């Protein structure tokens, strides 16, 4: 009897549980019917004006940023293009070939060779900055503006060491472009190249700064920006601009196995170009700072012989008599570790830091002498004529 009672009790409890559960589910359903949840826009079917408003709202939230970016980029390019010029140079004909042709002795073709490049207007009175190698060997130089005017240009000055040249044209209604500060350039920032690749005027390409402080096998006394921006033959001398439309580099050369752009281009920092331009316009020539030393490569073997921990630094082989280096107390055998607040890896880097110094301005540098670190000060002078 006791077992049967327990079974009837369990059955009654189970039935009571089912009844309460059914009441709860029913109450919840009624509450949801009385309090519907707002649906997402993807589950609502609009008709007429409601559908139009919803579409406009979705378009605004998803595409407004892209529209703004597109407008900024096109406006940036529109401002830059009038400042960029195409440069055509013509070399003088071979005199010996002309003489041979005159006397009917045959010989090679006497047609003058021509080259094309790019440049940028940097002043309203007609000064143009470009690369020296664009003008090298030219007998005549002509410039085509963005408004299709073709004008003769004369060379105001060149600096082969930095591969920068300055042209002058006589024209009105020119739109100069503004130099930016290349010291503030950061790796990864967006840049645009504007130029005349393969003779295609007003070509614009976009990329980023891939690296700073690149060195080359040339004797250029400056380092380069590496950029992913597409640069091809004819872009040389054209501007590399930032998102504010300011020039932060002068497109110079590419590394390529095919002869075309492979995303490894190099540009001269704008501060170098601006210094050369200002020297040529205001002084008539380019001032090169002079330190006055001979340095030798610091190999691992030599570093061990001198008891040095590594090969970092520029090892002084000798100083020129009465040079700023000698007057500052520098001796042969000293190891220059920093110059003007920047570390020195080797002699080439020291040469670049010297090129950036200001003539007549004191510069502090650190050396290692007999195991001791010393700080010296030098006043830079203008490089004497050779």
Active site residue 236: yes
- Residue 48: pLDDT above 60? no
Q: Give me the domain span that covers residue 133.
A: 80-168
- Choosing from 83, 86, 118, 133, the catalytic residue is 133
In Å, what is the CA distance from 10 to each residue of 24, 157, 253, 270, 308?
A: 21, 108, 91, 91, 92
Whether 154 shows a pLDDT value over 70: the answer reads yes
Shared domain for 202 and 262, answered yes or no, is: yes
What's the pLDDT tens digit per position in 180-191? 999 899 999 999
**One domain for residues 188 and 249:** yes
* Residue at 60 is within a domain: no
Which residue did the predictor score with more confidence, 234 or 12? 234
Query: Per residue in 216-248, is it b (16+ CB within 10 Å) or e — as a string?
Result: eeeebbbbbbbbbbbbbbbbbbbbbbbeebbbb
Q: Average pLDDT of 303-313?
A: 91
Q: Is residue 65 part of a domain?
A: no
pLDDT computed for residue 247 by the predictor: 96
pTM for the complete prediction? 0.74
Whether 202 is in a domain gets the answer: yes
User: Which residue has 């002795």 as its token pair?
Assistant: 105
* Domain closes at, from 141, 168, 195: 168
From the list 178, 176, 156, the residue with the least C-alpha distance to 286 is 156
Percent of the chain with pLDDT over 90: 52
Residue 14: per-residue pLDDT: 58
Q: Give the tokens for residue 378.
A: 């030098």
Token pair of 123 as six digits: 């002043």
- In this structure, is residue 148 part of a structural domain? yes
Residues 279 and 307 in one domain: no
Instruction: Read off φ and ψ for residue 188, nearest 5 degrees.
Output: 100, -15
Q: Does 310 map to a domain?
A: yes
Same domain, 273 and 188: yes
Element (H, E) at 369: strand 362-369
| Shared domain check, 250 and 293 | no
**CATH no. for residue 354?**
2.30.42.10
Give CA separation, 35 vs 24, 28, 129, in Å: 16, 10, 72
Query: Binning pLDDT at 50, 70 and 90, where does residue 278 land?
Result: very high
Phi (first) and psi of residue 385, to 5 degrees: -65, 145
CB 317 within 8 A of CB 302: no
Using alpha carbons only, what angle is made at residue 342 by residues 336 and 344, rounded to the nearest 5 degrees?
40
Residues 188 and 263 in one domain: yes
Lowest mean pLDDT among 5-9, 282-286, 357-361: 5-9
Residue whose C-alpha is closest to residue 87's, from 46, 44, 119? 119
CB of 87 within 8 A of CB of 130? yes
Q: How far is 317 from 296, CA to CA, in rounded Å? A: 6
The pLDDT score that the predictor gives to residue 5 is 40
* pLDDT for res 199: 74
pLDDT recorded at residue 68: 77
Shared domain check, 129 and 164: yes
- For residues 330 and 374, membership in a common domain is answered with yes
H helices within the chain, ranges in order? 2-34, 49-80, 95-102, 132-135, 270-283, 300-305, 324-327, 347-356
Q: Does 162 lie in the same domain as 122? A: yes
Domain termination residue (choose one: 117, 145, 168): 168
**Catalytic-labelled residue, pool 236, 270, 323, 328:** 236
Number of structural domains (the chain) is: 3
Q: Are strands 84-91 and 114-121 parallel, antiparallel or unpaired?
A: antiparallel
Please identify which of the residues 163, 242, 279, 334 carries the catalytic annotation: 163
Within-domain flag for 53: no
Question: Cβ(161)–Cβ(273) under 8 Å?
Answer: no
Q: Are residues 219 and 295 in the same domain?
A: no
Q: What pLDDT, on the 0 to 100 scale, is given for residue 232?
A: 81
Q: Looking at residue 189, which CATH number applies to its domain?
A: 2.40.10.10
Reported as a pLDDT band with limits 50, 70 and 90, residue 103 is low
40 inside domain: no
Are 320 and 286 a contacting pair, CB within 8 Å? no
One domain for residues 300 and 236? no
- Whether residue 189 is found in the same domain as residue 279: yes
Does the structure show a pLDDT above 50 at 73? yes
pLDDT given at position 88? 93
pLDDT at 30 (0 to 100) = 66
In a domain, 277, yes or no: yes
Helix, strand or coil, per DSSP, at residue 295: strand
């Amino acid at each position: 009897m006791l077992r049967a009672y327990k079974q009837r009790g369990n059955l009654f409890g189970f039935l009571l549980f089912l009844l309460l559960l059914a009441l709860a589910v029913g109450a919840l359903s009624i509450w949801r019917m009385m309090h519907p949840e707002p649906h997402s826009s993807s589950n609502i079917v609009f008709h007429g004006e409601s559908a139009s408003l919803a579409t406009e709202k979705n378009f605004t939230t998803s595409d407004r940023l892209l529209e703004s970016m597109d407008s900024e980029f096109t406006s940036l390019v529109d401002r830059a293009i009038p400042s960029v010029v195409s440069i055509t140079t013509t070399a003088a004909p071979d005199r010996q070939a002309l003489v041979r042709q005159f006397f009917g002795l045959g010989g090679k073709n006497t047609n003058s060779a021509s080259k094309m490049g790019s440049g940028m207007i940097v002043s309203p009175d007609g000064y143009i900055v470009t690369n020296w190698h664009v003008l090298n060997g030219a007998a005549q130089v002509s410039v085509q503006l963005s408004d299709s005017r073709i004008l003769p240009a004369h060379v105001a000055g060149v600096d082969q060491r930095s591969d920068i040249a300055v042209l002058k044209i006589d024209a009105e209604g020119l739109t100069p472009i503004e130099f930016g500060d290349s010291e503030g350039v950061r790796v990864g920032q967006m840049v645009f190249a504007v130029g005349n690749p393969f003779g295609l005027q007003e070509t614009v390409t976009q990329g980023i700064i891939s690296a700073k402080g690149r060195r080359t096998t040339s004797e250029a006394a400056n380092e380069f920006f590496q950029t992913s921006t597409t640069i091809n033959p004819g872009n040389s001398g054209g501007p590399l601009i930032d998102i504010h439309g300011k020039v932060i580099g002068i497109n110079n050369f590419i590394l390529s196995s095919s002869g075309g752009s492979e995303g490894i281009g190099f540009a001269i920092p704008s501060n170098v170009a601006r210094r050369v331009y200002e020297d040529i316009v205001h002084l008539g020539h380019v001032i090169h700072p002079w330190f006055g030393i001979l340095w030798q490569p610091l190999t691992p073997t030599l570093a061990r012989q001198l008891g040095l921990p590594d090969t970092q630094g520029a090892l002084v082989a000798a100083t020129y008599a009465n040079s700023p280096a000698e007057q500052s107390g520098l001796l042969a055998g000293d190891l220059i570790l920093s110059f003007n607040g920047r570390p020195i890896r080797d002699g080439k880097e020291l040469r670049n830091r010297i090129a950036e110094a200001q003539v007549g301005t004191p510069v502090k540098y650190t050396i290692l002498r007999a195991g001791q670190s010393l700080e010296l000060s030098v006043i830079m002078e203008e490089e004497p004529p050779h």
